[in-house]
Chains A and B, each alone.
Chain A
């Protein structure tokens, strides 16, 4: 079976699964899963660019996704005037101090000759700059966080439509990736992995603790939506007309009073489905754009060079390719895509909760998607994103059901039975690990392996 055929089949199977969920559970659930599948696919694409195209092991996916989430807050929230007034002067001075420190450090690094003296001078500048900055930053933070801490206590955002945050999230993630890449690329693969793991933990720590920026663990809820609200839909005439038309068959058979009642219920149900469909459309659009661009990039001379570097770094370097530079590029692009996914996720959730970012869910699960789907193959990553998310979500009810069925012979209140059922949800971690290991062992290319084109050997 060739790859194209396999791709069609695999996606048909996913669609079928979603349809089954739609009919068996509800359309609301099915669409909810679909939306997260789409976001997962975007993130998996980002990781696939880094790992599949270039062989870079980024174990900091969580951090970039969280940066995207932060952007959603900073773009969409209205600025909080009072907080700005309370803190802007000190904040500005702190920013100048920080900028000055960085500039002085760079100047010192460039102008002084390498050696003990330079190290000493750099350390002094950085420590002094840190204290100076803190001197202004601390009161700024205190005054900002004092402004209605129960309701706001942070600076707010730019008050722009949240959809812009998808772009901003990508840019922020790209900026941080540039910094990490400068530091950590060029190290051995395992060191890069550990460095990215570290940076993602730091990003989460910052988001949790810098209340003035993100409200920290107090969370930001009720983010503005890029799609209509259910409540507005339910009261708008065109929507009610639409629902009426859609369900005209079943409504016609009812008598007037019951008809009104049924229509109301239909409107409520349909409104939440309609909202989800809107999201799906937006997410699918983003996914298609990224997919299109990455397929083009992969098949361009740039993509070929990337893969050449991945397959034989030494040879590529000997041919005059700037390996470190290319790695930096792909690292930034991949991270930006992950950031976009993160912003989309926070948009969908409508709230930003820094504590929800956990490495197993946000870093390692995405990795499972890429490996299982097929590293180096964009369609594979998308498929992996869909499939693994489906399994991840459905493993919980299936696990509970299995445990209930398996322990049916035990008493209802048996401690072991209750424990097994209560903890069944954690078995999905075990199951994910198993899937990853099985694919890695028996089908290392993933479900849709990378297509290697050779002359005279069309697939």
Chain B
């Protein structure tokens, strides 16, 4: 029969394999989806280059991290990449501003249809991808250093006496903390500052915003800057947590789009919600629950299979299925989308 310890063990198991990874992956997706949603809300197109923007920002951060490491500069137990982030952000801001000036501005001034923007963003995607692969190569890069764990499974077991361990990686803790700070700052900016309100107004009703004296070029510029910040940080956190590979970042497009649309595209709260919905669904559907059931069920009922709904290889399918379901049932997303 199950005892109190068994129940606690199963909870720890779920915390360790579902809640912690889900929260950190969800935060990374949320930050990425925020960038997509901002561009959609202001410039009104689905930005296919966003995954590669993330890869670009992360790449610069990695290069600066390596340089700092070679100089022996490190922020103690935290990853050196944190010190390199500002450089990555700056480079990404420059990249995005140049792209806007050379590519998107022309279509904006000519009032092109969204599809044209979208195809242009495919071109930008190609170019950014080419730059990233050219500079850092197509292979896996690791750049995590400093302390690895906040809580080690072994220590956790020793101090609690439980059979199941809980481990929290520094990269996971960092992701969640940074995401909270960043999201709080973004909302403060959108709700309280003059420029933030102008962005919301522009997203809500472009013509009326213009009639109120809002300068569209400035709004677009600010949007790209925020997008660059979000993308670089999201990409770096993802790279620290897993690893950096240009192709993986291209593939992140799908879950990020799904997160943005599921939450309600153009709606920042929706993007965050969508990020966690997608991340938790992915983790929960691909987790093998066998051990949990062993703890919770009497021996006679224990399952022989892995009790896994879907193999991890099908995680794309999860975001896609959720995306399709939401589009069919509630096309505006969970929170109504379209405006900031």
Contact = CB atoms under 8 A, between A and B. Distances in A.
B322 to A, nearest CB: 10
B313 interface: yes
B149 to A, nearest CB: 31
A427 B324 CA distance: 36
A205 B313 contact: yes
Contact of A195 (B103, B115, B138, B327): B327
Nearest to B137: A423
Nearest to A57: B115
A190 B118 contact: yes
Contacts of A132: none
Nearest to B129: A429
A433 B327 contact: no
A443 interface: no
Contacts of A138: 305
A191 interface: yes
A360 B129 CA distance: 9
B20 interface: no
A426 B137 CA distance: 8
A436 interface: yes
Given A202-B314, A205-B317, A423-B137, A190 B45 contact: yes
By size class, the interface of chain A is 35 or more
Contact of B127 (A195, A422, A434, A440): A434
B291 to A, nearest CB: 19
- Among B45, B116, B253, max chain A CB count under 10 A is at B253
Interface stretch (A33-41, A69-77, A181-189): A181-189
A437 interface: yes
Contact of B254 (A201, A428, A430, A436): A201
Contacts of A364: 122, 125-126
B271 interface: no
B316 A201 contact: yes
Interface in A5-57: 55, 57
Nearest to A441: B106
B215 to A, nearest CB: 24
A198 B124 contact: no
A117 to B, nearest CB: 15
Contacts of B118: 57, 189-190, 193
B156 interface: no
A208 B313 CA distance: 9
Contacts of B220: none
B257 interface: yes
A228 interface: no
Interface string B108-120: 0000001110111
A194 interface: yes
Interface residues of B, number: 48
Contacts of B221: none
B31 interface: no
B313 A430 contact: no
Nearest to A119: B329
B62 to A, nearest CB: 15
A432 interface: yes
Contacts of A208: 313
Nearest to B44: A190
A199 interface: yes
B124, B128, B323, B324: residue with the most chain A Cβ atoms closer than 10 Å: B324
A336 B261 CA distance: 29
Interface string A244-283: 0000000000000000000000000000000000000000
B46 A205 contact: no
Contact of B317 (A197, A202, A444): A202
Contacts of A198: 254, 258, 316, 319-320, 323-324
B68 to A, nearest CB: 19
A444 B126 CA distance: 18
A303 interface: no
Contact of B130 (A206, A426, A444): A426
A430 B123 contact: no
B224 to A, nearest CB: 17
A433 B130 contact: yes
A358 interface: yes
B133 A423 contact: yes
A195 B258 CA distance: 9
Question: Which residue, A208, A360, A444, has most C-beta atoms of chain B within 10 A?
Answer: A360
With a 10 A CB-CB cut-off, give which of A194, A206, A208, A424 has the most chain B CB atoms: A194
A209 B311 contact: yes
B319 to A, nearest CB: 7
B130 A429 contact: yes
B112 to A, nearest CB: 9
A109 interface: no
B258 A193 contact: no
A189 B261 CA distance: 13
Nearest to A135: B305
A66 interface: no
B120 A440 contact: yes
Given A194-B323, A197-B253, A205-B313, A433 B45 contact: no
A183 B325 CA distance: 9
A166 interface: no
A209 B125 CA distance: 28
Contacts of A189: 114-115, 118
A430 B131 contact: yes
Contacts of B258: 194, 198
Contacts of B309: 130
A205 B314 contact: yes
A162 B129 CA distance: 36
B135 interface: yes
A426 B133 contact: yes
Given A198-B254, A201-B254, A436 B133 contact: no
A195 B317 CA distance: 11
Given A191-B261, A209-B314, A199 B120 contact: no
A107 interface: no
Contacts of B120: 437, 440
A423 B135 contact: yes
20 contacts: A55-B115, A189-B118, A190-B45, A190-B46, A190-B114, A190-B115, A193-B118, A194-B254, A197-B254, A197-B257, A199-B320, A201-B320, A202-B320, A360-B126, A360-B129, A364-B125, A423-B137, A430-B126, A433-B126, A437-B127
Given A198-B319, A437-B127, 13 more contacts: A190-B118, A195-B327, A197-B257, A201-B251, A201-B254, A202-B314, A367-B122, A423-B134, A429-B129, A433-B123, A433-B128, A433-B129, A440-B120
Which 8 pairs show the lowest CB-CB distances between chains A and B?
A430-B130, A433-B126, A429-B130, A433-B127, A426-B133, A198-B320, A436-B123, A437-B123
Interface of B: 45-46, 48, 103, 106, 114-116, 118-120, 122-131, 133-135, 137-138, 247, 250-251, 253-254, 257-258, 261, 305, 309, 311, 313-314, 316-317, 319-320, 323-324, 327-328, 331
